[in-house]
Structure 1
Amino acid sequence: MNQGDCKLRLYVSEECELCDRAVAVLAAARAPDFECVCIEDDTELSARYGVRVPVLHDVSRDRDLGWPFDVGDVLRFLSA
């Protein structure tokens, strides 16, 4: 699977400095389009990701890359 086939979500919380950094890392890695999903209004997502955000989630493979991550980590995650 190449990067273009990957549907990505970045789980975040409001006013989260680490989440802002994660977006910058994804931009530097030239990650394919992703959507930011705020977990605060969703009980299930808050329970799953509450203390772990930001988390990059590959929807097609149901797998996560948790913070901290850098450009190299993102590239490896996308190519695995």
Structure 2
Amino acid sequence: MIKLLLLGTAGCHLCEEAKIIIEAYSVQDADQLAIETVDIAEQTQWQANYAERIPVLYHPATQQDLGWPFDRNDVNEFISELSND
């Protein structure tokens, strides 16, 4: 199973768009994918690197990330790359 973090913050309209893309993906592939939403405003360790880049899809195991803008195809490619590692 691939575990990802969706880094964003409350009130971010781009983060809401990203969440819709990710939720649609995670519902379809729930057995292969676990996604946790992280509000970087509450997590100071994420603010320095991601405050100006959110929303970001982050893979903690490899520290790879996919920054906005992204669509379902970009997410598919990102996850495929992670699956092949």
Counterpart contact for 1:53–1:67, Cα < 8 Å: yes
CA offset digits 1:26-72 (Å, max 9, x no partner): 13334522111111133331111001000000112110000000000
- How many correspondences in the alignment? 76
Give the corresponding residue for 2:47: 46
Query: Is residue 2:27 matched to residue 1:26?
Result: no
Higher helix share: 2
Among the aligned pairs, what percent are the same residue?
Answer: 38
Q: Which runs of 5+ in 1 are unaligned?
A: none
TM-score (norm 2): 0.80
TM-score (norm 1): 0.85
RMSD over equivalenced CA pairs, Å: 1.3
